[in-house]
């Protein structure tokens, strides 16, 4: 597919592998990815435990989603580092700063703690999230005077790690990962949701918030038929959103629409991830990681059926297209017309959408590779070198 030189300048940094010598691991072309209008995609590549497909479509004026796949050593231990695959989907809100920060820091933090503890564990993941949160809040504090709006920027953070045959899923916010599992008795692939979501639209999340803030009758508010934390935000957990975590940022010069009328002494939002550990088995076929922009239009089983009944190459792009077709249908318009709508205006029809499909090879997941394919893909315009568009 031909691309203009100006578009290539935007796309290449998004998909740039860290080492030119590993270009064969991420596909042909300097960045290993392609673009079609507001869509960026990598149709098929290899990771330590199988194959993957990745796609990102922009709706906002600035793309707020970030994402990455890292395959190879999962620690800094040069002697015998654990090998595996790391996947991250970071759905930003209020701006792209938090998702960019997570891309640049979360995996590095995870490798640091995996080195200290000599292996992967739920505790390593918790510490990596905490360090990333603390690092971003420190950045907010440094920039507060000159850029106060950074206190209102945050991101959902969904992570998957496959190491020594074990799958770790960690999440804050409302992105989602769904497993496609083969049910041998009926020979069908069923959808199994692997992540816990933190959105005030879920009754259990509202109850959790009320129990944590028993003296605040306005901790969750139904506003325009949508449940929101303090009437402002839907997610109850995130990285960033400093204005709802530290009262020092809930004041001028922050915009009035983000400021609460009453002071608070306890963090309203949390950055503590829900972590699930799952021993992979031969029935586990693939994983679909996606920001909520996909799940707004497709059910878990619909997404799994599309993956199961379609060729591997281009499957992430196919899921994005299915979601956009549903978005167009809901507005009684044609998909071809939706594609013509420019960023910014497009946000009235759908959100930024990031999808990563990870196929699982049972013969690979149980092995501790010393020569896993070295891969680093970062999508969604999260690299600081990517122009603002």
168: domain CATH number is: 3.60.40.10
**Which of 210, 234, 258 is the C-terminal boundary of a domain?**
234
- Residue 373: the pLDDT is 65
Q: Is 238 left (phi over 0), alpha (psi -120 to 50) or beta?
A: beta
- Kindly state whether residues 191 and 150 are assigned to the same domain: yes
- Kindly state whether residues 122 and 27 are assigned to the same domain: yes
- Residue 98: the pLDDT is 96
- Kindly state whether residues 310 and 374 are assigned to the same domain: yes
Residue bearing the bigger pLDDT, 328 or 80: 328
Q: What is the pLDDT of residues 35-79, one digit of tens each?
A: 888 889 999 999 988 999 999 999 888 899 999 999 988 888 777
Q: How confident is the model at residue 82 (pLDDT cuts 50, 70, 90)?
A: confident
354 inside domain? yes
Into how many domains does the chain fold? 2
Q: Which residues of 219-241 are buried (b: 16+ CB within 10 A; e: fewer)?
A: bbeeeeeebbbbbbbbbbbbbbb
- Kindly state whether residues 166 and 181 are assigned to the same domain: yes
- Residue 8: the pLDDT is 31
Contact 239, 154 (CB under 8 A): yes
50 inside domain? yes
pTM over 0.75: yes
Cα–Cα dist 197/251, whole Å: 29
58 inside domain? yes
**Which of 185, 208, 234 is the C-terminal boundary of a domain?**
234
Percent of the chain with pLDDT over 70: 87
* pLDDT above 80: residue 369: no
Q: How many CB atoms lie under 10 A from the CB of residue 252?
A: 8
Q: Is 108 left (phi over 0), alpha (psi -120 to 50) or beta?
A: alpha
- Give the range of the structural domain holding residue 192, as residue numbers without chain letter: 5-199+235-379
* pLDDT above 70: residue 227: yes
- Kindly state whether residues 171 and 228 are assigned to the same domain: no
- Mean pLDDT (whole number) for 183-201: 92
Compute CA distances 211 → 216, 237, 262, 345, whole Å. 10, 15, 19, 39
- Residue 34: the pLDDT is 85
387 inside domain? no
* pLDDT above 50: residue 372: yes
- Residue 252: the pLDDT is 87
Q: Peptide bond before 253: cis, by omega within 30 degrees of 0? A: yes
- Kindly state whether residues 107 and 92 are assigned to the same domain: yes
- Kindly state whether residues 75 and 211 are assigned to the same domain: no
- Kindly state whether residues 225 and 184 are assigned to the same domain: no
* pLDDT above 90: residue 375: no
- Kindly state whether residues 204 and 246 are assigned to the same domain: no
- Residue 362: the pLDDT is 78
Lowest mean pLDDT among 81-85, 118-122, 311-315: 81-85
- Kindly state whether residues 297 and 287 are assigned to the same domain: yes
């Amino acid at each position: 597919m031909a691309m203009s030189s100006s578009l290539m300048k935007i796309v290449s940094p998004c998909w740039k592998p860290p080492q030119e010598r590993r270009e064969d691991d991420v596909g042909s072309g300097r960045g290993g990815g392609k673009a079609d209008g507001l869509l960026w995609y990598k149709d098929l590549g290899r990771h330590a435990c199988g194959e993957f497909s990745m796609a990102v479509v922009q709706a906002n004026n600035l793309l707020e989603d970030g994402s990455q796949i890292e395959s190879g050593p999962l620690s800094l231990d040069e002697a015998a580092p654990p090998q595996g695959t790391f996947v991250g989907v970071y759905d930003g809100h209020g701006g792209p700063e938090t998702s960019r920060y997570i891309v640049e820091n979360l995996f590095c933090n995870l490798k640091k703690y995996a080195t200290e503890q000599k292996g992967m564990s739920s505790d390593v993941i918790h510490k990596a999230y905490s360090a990333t949160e603390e690092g971003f809040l420190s950045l907010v504090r440094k920039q507060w005077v000159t850029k106060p709006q950074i206190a209102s920027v945050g991101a959902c953070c969904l992570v998957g790690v496959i190491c020594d045959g074990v799958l770790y899923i960690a999440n804050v916010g409302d992105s989602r990962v769904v497993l496609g599992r083969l049910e041998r008795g009926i020979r069908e692939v069923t959808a199994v949701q692997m992540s816990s979501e933190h959105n005030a639209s879920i009754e259990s999340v509202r109850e959790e918030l009320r129990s944590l803030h028993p003296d605040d009758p306005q901790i969750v508010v139904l506003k325009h038929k949508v449940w929101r934390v303090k009437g402002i935000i839907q997610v109850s957990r995130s990285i960033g959103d400093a204005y709802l975590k530290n009262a020092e940022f809930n004041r001028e010069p922050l915009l009035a629409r983000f400021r609460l009328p009453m002071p608070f002494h306890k963090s309203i939002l949390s950055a503590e991830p829900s972590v699930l550990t799952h021993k992979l088995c031969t029935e586990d076929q693939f994983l679909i990681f996606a920001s909520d922009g996909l799940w707004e239009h497709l059910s878990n089983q619909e997404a799994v059926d599309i993956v199961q009944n379609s060729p591997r190459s281009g499957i992430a792009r196919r899921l994005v297209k299915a979601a956009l077709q549903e978005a167009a249908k809901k507005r009684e318009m044609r998909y071809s017309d939706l594609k013509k709508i420019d960023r910014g205006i497009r946000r009235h029809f759908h959100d930024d959408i990031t999808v990563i499909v990870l196929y699982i090879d049972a013969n690979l997941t149980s092995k501790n590779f010393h020569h896993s394919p070295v891969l680093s893909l970062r999508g969604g315009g999260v690299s600081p070198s990517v122009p603002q568009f």
